[in-house]
Amino acid sequence: MAKDDHMTRILITSAIPYINGIKHLGNLVGSQLPADLYARYNRARGAEVMFICATDEHGTPAELAASKAGKPVDEFCAEMHGVQADIANRFGLSFDHFGRSSSAQNQKLTQHFAGRLKSEGFIEEVSEKQVYSNADGRFLPDRYIEGTCPNCGYDSARGDQCENCTKQLDPTDLIDPRSAISGSTDLEVRETKHLYLRQSKLKDKLDAWITSKGDWPILTTSIAKKWLHDGDGLRDRGITRDLNWGVPVKDGDNDWPGMEGKVFYVWFDAPIEYIAATKEWADARGLDDDAWESWWRTDKGADDVKYVQFMGKDNVPFHTLSFPATIMGSGEPWKLVDYIKSFNYLNYDGGQFSTSKGRGVFMDQALDILPADYWRWWLLSHAPETSDSEFTWENFQSSVNKDLADVLGNFVSRVTKFCNSKFSPAVPDGGTYGERETALISDLTTKIRAYEGHMAAMDVRKSAAELRAIWTAGNEYLQEVAPWSTFKTDPEQAAAQIRLALNLIRVYAVLSAPFIPTASAQMLAGMNTLNMDWPDDVEAALGKLPVGHEFTVPEVLFAKITDDQREEWAEKFSGTRD
Ligand SMILES: [Zn+2]
């Protein structure tokens, strides 16, 4: 169907959050939230959108977190997935599917890619020496080995790094090494085999592909080029680990001799989950393989798809090099990304957000104190696009109070209350539009076209600034024509002004929905309409609510943040959580 009517099809993926714990606002604004903005905008413009995210569930940190929580790792992951899905939902993140990298679909697809890469000559088997724990009956990843740091004498240094002096270590550097699982010192170094993805063989192809992406943000391409060319250039990467928790190493459906008991390294299977999650979406709806393959296989319709990825800058190397290497190396017609939108970091009040230190505001805590739209607006209007940005409580209070309460909220409240008290709770008849109204329509048309341009270009801050300007234009109009004064001398003219302003509330709801979906829904409910038509023609859009159309005065859309609240929250979040 999509092919025949030339509907735009947009595939959107957000970098998948790691399973162990709740993410902070810096994580949110670096991928999921701007991806949601783009998804909502394109749906509003009539595109067919597939918006995919998932939890990244494999690897050592998940195993460690589960063991700390005293739970089997699969149970821990299922629980945490539920927690993250619930918070995402409450933040209004409109995923078409929020999958799990531990799904059966991802297991099968990851094994398929590995088998393809092997057939195409992009896998190398390498013998390595690694620490084996006799007591635990397993090889130990570096960070599962503890001992005394040879540099500073700290007695709980990990095999990859000393937490105390930050020196990078090899497990064999440690004095009196022991297993972090059992504490056993019965360790030995054994020979073991691992698989490497021969990315270096794909270097030229990747380089040419990145070079062809002249429209990508500099942040994205500069990171990719650095990894391609700095030092020895693009290095081959190990894709297997001696762990229990992960996708078992297989060559497609077949066993891989010598790789028994090993799993794929989490970075290999995590991006494949973008594809697998789309299959999870289809499976959950009882759809056949065409349904998901039309998004991902260029031989099955995906050549018409625009594929956009959102991520923080730390994830750029995996998405510009490793994952494309997996796709290119497979020799199959899988969809490559068309555009990568990457973000810098959001800092917190003079320092960094820190998950390990519990510093900053975490997603669940944010929703405990204010509804999602307050956060969505601030985060998106301050997105760290061209440089890092910083969250401060003063700035948050001032943005919310000015933009949301004084400009947008006040407009809605004044117009509906005035109409209700001087006319009736319905769009009033009488009067005609004059020069001032024509000027407003022309100004709004210019601004809305600019807003569309910024949204299509994924310029998040510019989009927010333009939307704010659109709200302000309405407020200035209202201030200037002052229907409450006009009413005393010319009630007909006041009716025309209010008719326009009531219609403008609907237009604001439509334009603002990608940023503040809950408030947008409240505005539409107040205006007693389900009409979400985009204002392609602004003059026509301002006539959608006809004379006599009834409305209700909405509750206050946005409460102001008081100085007391600001101080209380600044204090509350200055330390560490729990
Ligand atoms: Zn040390």
Distance 70 CA to ligand 1 centre (A): 29
Position 4 scores a pLDDT of: 46
Distance 156 CA to ligand 1 centre (A): 9
pLDDT by 10s per residue, the chain, length 578: 344 456 899 999 999 999 988 999 999 999 999 999 999 999 999 999 999 999 999 998 898 899 889 999 999 999 999 999 999 999 999 999 999 999 999 999 999 999 999 999 999 999 988 899 999 888 888 888 999 999 999 999 999 888 888 888 888 899 999 998 889 999 999 998 999 999 999 999 999 999 999 999 888 999 999 999 988 888 899 999 988 899 999 999 999 999 998 999 999 999 999 999 999 999 999 999 999 999 999 999 999 999 999 999 999 999 999 999 999 999 999 999 999 999 999 999 888 888 777 789 999 999 999 999 999 999 999 999 989 999 999 999 999 999 999 999 999 999 999 999 999 999 999 999 999 999 999 999 999 999 999 999 999 999 999 999 999 999 999 999 999 999 999 999 999 999 999 999 999 999 999 999 999 999 999 999 999 999 999 999 999 999 999 999 999 999 999 999 999 999 988 866 54
Residue from 21, 24, 19, 53 nearest 36 by CA = 53
Distance 265 CA to ligand 1 centre (A): 27
Q: Give dist(CA 330, CA 299) in Å, integer.
A: 14
Distance 172 CA to ligand 1 centre (A): 14
Position 43 scores a pLDDT of: 98
> What torsion, rounded to 10 degrees, do the Cα atoms 202, 296, 56, 242 define?
-50
DSSP 144: G
DSSP 150: T
Distance 576 CA to ligand 1 centre (A): 24
Instruction: Determine if the pTM surpasses 0.75.
Output: yes
Sheet holding 351-352, edge to edge: 351-352, 346-348, 389-391
Position 168 scores a pLDDT of: 83
Q: Is 27 helix (H, G, I), strand (E, B) or coil?
A: helix
Distance 134 CA to ligand 1 centre (A): 26
Q: Give dist(CA 264, CA 102) in Å, integer.
A: 12
Position 6 scores a pLDDT of: 62
Distance 153 CA to ligand 1 centre (A): 6
SS (HEC) of 492-506: HHHHHHHHHHHHHHH
Distance 526 CA to ligand 1 centre (A): 62
Distance 151 CA to ligand 1 centre (A): 5
Residue from 80, 14, 18, 33 nearest 346 by CA = 33
